[in-house]
Chains A and B, each alone.
Chain A
Amino acid sequence: MTRESLINTALFLMLPLTAGAAWMLDEPFIITLATKVAILALAGVGLNIALGLGGLVSLGHAAFFGIGGYAMGILAHHAQNYTPLMEAPFLIEGTNAMPIIWLVAVIAGALAALAIGALSLRTSGVYFIMITLAFGQMLYYFAISWPAYGGEDGLSIYVRNGFPGLNTLDPVQFFAIAFVILAVTLFAAGRLAASAFGLALSAARQNAVRVETVGLSPYRLRLLAFVISGAITALAGALFADLNRFVSPTMFSWQMSGEIMIFVILGGVGRLYGPVAGAALFILLEHVLGGLSDFWHVYLGILLLLVVLFARGGMIGSLAGREVAHD
């Protein structure tokens, strides 16, 4: 086992161990924190496919996070009010079944990523960063100005959505759901990185001309990576909204995009488990520093600045050595 895979295993086990211990000690708040880490890590795993593997610096992933959140919010809102979502041309009812909500979130996120990506990927570099940021902001303002689903105030969902055979209101069972989804996604993302598609995508990040010369289109590779990335982040958004039983335009805000990116960076760009480490560190800091000072973002900013300037591999990079592992 390499050092990085040891660290990964430890990171992976950390979440269920924490949640399990909290369950035995009857500390539901800690379980909720662990759930939050798992969900935010999932959003980071999504971004990492675009950012780490594809080199696409998207500063607008809150768009997909928010779309996932609103997919949950809108479906559950209609289910709790017993109003149909749409009557013509055919009837669509709301739902509070998680699997359906997830499916809708994933599809909506993928479609949004397809539209945003198709436009944004016509450019590269700093244009791409600004454009993704702008599209994220567009959805933010749209959510604020669209009155049907709460506008600026957002939507509250009174009862957490259901999953067949589980009591989702029990914190530890909801944690299990989030963790299993994270685990499955991590496994799939790992396979993706090592696949033919992953190799070509990674090559396009390093040298787009090379990829063209072997007869592959960097644009298509990147667009698909962006779609997969958006879909995963949307799924995380749906879970996050379910965790809070609330969705509001802040899920679309540029700060959210920045935070998802921080998870990836604090952990280490391009490292499979980077977002898990990053999200865990972020939530830990939020609670440790947030307890010390209302202005903990100052410390977070300083820490982030130090990581960027002096520890570019992030946490996993510092612990496991700078180089990303190669097959």
Chain B
Amino acid sequence: MSTILLIEQVLNGLQFGVMLFLMAAGLTLIFGVMGLINLAHGSLYMIGAFAAAAVAGATGSFLLAIIASLAAAAAAGALVELVVIRRLYDRDHLDQVLATFALILIFSEGTRWVFGSFPLFLDIPAALSGPVMLPGGIQYPAYRLLIIAIGLLIAFGLFQLIAKTRIGIQIRAGESDREMIAALGVDISKLYTIVFALGAGLAGLAGALVGAIQSVQVGMGEPVLILAFVVIVIGGIGSIKGALVGALLVGLTDTLGGVLLPGFFATFMEPSAATAVGSSLASMSIYILMAGVLLFRPTGLYGTA
């Protein structure tokens, strides 16, 4: 395999990884602060994508579409938090799983009801649709490069938010001691709604950004949600840093595994068998990665308890 192709695949892996990070960051924050496992996070991803597709269809503006994805997902997140999620904080994980599973059913079928079963398409703006020339003569799609940049920028922003701002301090306090922040006079229920909406907005943004590469359809969120779980298990629950490292690991493993494993098996097997074994193993590679991490660090790379 040529170096250029390899670098392209590494970039693809990075792009996939930063998108997973946007999902995983919200999930891990919500779990860290509120102790809630939210299966419906994938629905918020889907809502972001649909909002973007609808607004892009109506206005033709990609920028407006992206803003709409953030706004719609954050609003849906805040609404769901106020109506359903806040009743679940004191419940056990089983109740949380079931209630948020119920939310998936409602959101998915509701979206199908409104938008139909056919996928929508969100077009990449013309200015970004071409390739750019990278040093070393590598051509790479400008849009994907933009996604990587946005993802890294948001990761940086989140780290700053957590480390430097007032709300970040409250979030960190909430992760270590819930009674403590109430005692400090922080309005907990407002904080929870904000954190949930923040996580939802990030998921919605990811949905819109990815929706422009793939298609926008019902059920697009759950496979990503499960990968985000794998990311969190690898990185450690509650750790933003873990989410970033885990997301990049999973993104790279998945992308490179799909490219490299069939080639690897082809060196000593018949081509057709090599493709079969290689692609099957590649589909399992991130789970094998997760199992490996679990064997040595049951609480993830950056997990504490």
A positions within 8 Å CB-CB of B: 51, 57, 59, 119-120, 122-123, 125-127, 129-131, 133-135, 137-138, 141-142, 144-148, 254, 258, 261-262, 265, 269, 295-298, 300-302, 304-305, 307-309, 312
**Are the CB atoms of A135 and B287 closer together than 8 Å?**
yes
- Bound Cα distance from A125 to B93, whole angstroms: 7
**Are the CB atoms of A302 and B237 closer together than 8 Å?**
no
A145: contacting residue among B103, B279, B287, CB under 8 A: B279
A57: contacting residue among B94, B103, B294, CB under 8 A: B94
Using Cβ atoms and an 8 Å threshold, which residues of chain B touch A138? 283-284, 287
Chain B residue nearest to A310 (CB atoms) is: B87
User: Does B106 belong to the interface (CB within 8 Å)?
Assistant: yes
**Are the CB atoms of A141 and B284 closer together than 8 Å?**
yes
Chain B residue nearest to A253 (CB atoms) is: B222
Using Cβ atoms and an 8 Å threshold, which residues of chain B touch A300? 102, 105
B positions within 8 Å CB-CB of A: 31, 37, 84, 87, 93-95, 97-99, 101-106, 108-110, 112-113, 222-223, 226, 229-230, 232-233, 237, 276, 279-280, 282-284, 287, 290-291, 294-295, 298-300
Using Cβ atoms and an 8 Å threshold, which residues of chain B touch A308? 95, 98-99, 102
Using Cβ atoms and an 8 Å threshold, which residues of chain B touch A127? 233, 237, 298-300
**Are the CB atoms of B233 and A131 closer together than 8 Å?**
yes
Using Cβ atoms and an 8 Å threshold, which residues of chain A touch B31? 126
**Are the CB atoms of B230 and A297 closer together than 8 Å?**
no
Using Cβ atoms and an 8 Å threshold, which residues of chain B touch A297? 105-106, 108-109
- Bound Cα distance from A312 to B95, whole angstroms: 9
Shortest distance between the CB of B98 and any CB in chain A (Å)? 5
Shortest distance between the CB of A267 and any CB in chain B (Å)? 13
**Are the CB atoms of B106 and A302 closer together than 8 Å?**
yes
A129: contacting residue among B93, B103, B223, B280, CB under 8 A: B93
Main secondary structure of the interface of B (DSSP, over half): helix
**Are the CB atoms of B109 and A298 closer together than 8 Å?**
yes
**Are the CB atoms of A119 and B276 closer together than 8 Å?**
no
> What are 13 inter-chain pairs, A to B, with CB distance below 8 A?
A119-B294, A127-B300, A129-B97, A131-B229, A131-B233, A134-B233, A134-B287, A137-B223, A141-B283, A258-B101, A262-B101, A297-B105, A305-B103
Main secondary structure of the interface of A (DSSP, over half): helix
A137: contacting residue among B99, B106, B233, B287, CB under 8 A: B287
Chain B residue nearest to A120 (CB atoms) is: B294
A304: contacting residue among B98, B279, B290, B298, CB under 8 A: B98
- Bound Cα distance from A142 to B287, whole angstroms: 11
**Are the CB atoms of A298 and B105 closer together than 8 Å?**
yes
- Bound Cα distance from A245 to B283, whole angstroms: 27
Using Cβ atoms and an 8 Å threshold, which residues of chain A touch B87? 309
- Bound Cα distance from A119 to B280, whole angstroms: 21
Using Cβ atoms and an 8 Å threshold, which residues of chain A touch B232? 130
**Are the CB atoms of A302 and B102 closer together than 8 Å?**
yes
Apart from A130-B230, A302-B106, 11 more pairs, CB < 8 Å: A125-B93, A127-B237, A127-B299, A133-B229, A254-B222, A261-B97, A295-B110, A295-B112, A297-B106, A297-B108, A309-B87
**Are the CB atoms of A305 and B99 closer together than 8 Å?**
yes
5 residue pairs, one from A and one from B, having the closest CB atoms = A301-B105, A138-B287, A301-B106, A130-B229, A304-B102
Using Cβ atoms and an 8 Å threshold, which residues of chain A touch B98? 261-262, 265, 304, 307-308
Using Cβ atoms and an 8 Å threshold, which residues of chain B touch A298? 105-106, 109-110, 113
Chain B residue nearest to A137 (CB atoms) is: B226
Shortest distance between the CB of A98 and any CB in chain B (Å)? 29
Chain A residue nearest to B101 (CB atoms) is: A258
Shortest distance between the CB of B274 and any CB in chain A (Å)? 12
Using Cβ atoms and an 8 Å threshold, which residues of chain B touch A307? 98
- Bound Cα distance from A269 to B287, whole angstroms: 29
**Are the CB atoms of B93 and A123 closer together than 8 Å?**
no
Shortest distance between the CB of A26 and any CB in chain B (Å)? 35
- Bound Cα distance from A138 to B37, whole angstroms: 20
Using Cβ atoms and an 8 Å threshold, which residues of chain A touch B290? 131, 134
**Are the CB atoms of B280 and A142 closer together than 8 Å?**
yes
Shortest distance between the CB of B91 and any CB in chain A (Å)? 8
Chain B residue nearest to A138 (CB atoms) is: B287
Shortest distance between the CB of A80 and any CB in chain B (Å)? 22
B280: contacting residue among A57, A135, A145, A309, CB under 8 A: A145
- Bound Cα distance from A316 to B290, whole angstroms: 38
Shortest distance between the CB of B290 and any CB in chain A (Å)? 6
- Bound Cα distance from A312 to B280, whole angstroms: 41
Shortest distance between the CB of A277 and any CB in chain B (Å)? 16
A123: contacting residue among B95, B105, B287, B298, CB under 8 A: B298
A301: contacting residue among B103, B276, B283, CB under 8 A: B103
- Contacts A122-B294, A131-B233, A265-B98 given; does A146 touch B226 at CB 8 Å: no
**Are the CB atoms of A309 and B99 closer together than 8 Å?**
yes
- Bound Cα distance from A148 to B273, whole angstroms: 10
Shortest distance between the CB of B27 and any CB in chain A (Å)? 9
B229: contacting residue among A57, A134, A147, CB under 8 A: A134
Using Cβ atoms and an 8 Å threshold, which residues of chain A touch B283? 138, 141-142, 144-145
Chain A residue nearest to B42 (CB atoms) is: A254
Considering residues A135, A141, A144, A261, which has the most beta carbons from chain B within 10 angstroms of its beta carbon?
A141
- Bound Cα distance from A137 to B225, whole angstroms: 11
- Bound Cα distance from A44 to B39, whole angstroms: 21
- Bound Cα distance from A171 to B300, whole angstroms: 50
- Bound Cα distance from A312 to B105, whole angstroms: 19
- Contacts A130-B233, A142-B284 given; does A123 touch B279 at CB 8 Å: no
Using Cβ atoms and an 8 Å threshold, which residues of chain B touch A262? 98, 101
- Bound Cα distance from A16 to B174, whole angstroms: 54
Shortest distance between the CB of B85 and any CB in chain A (Å)? 11
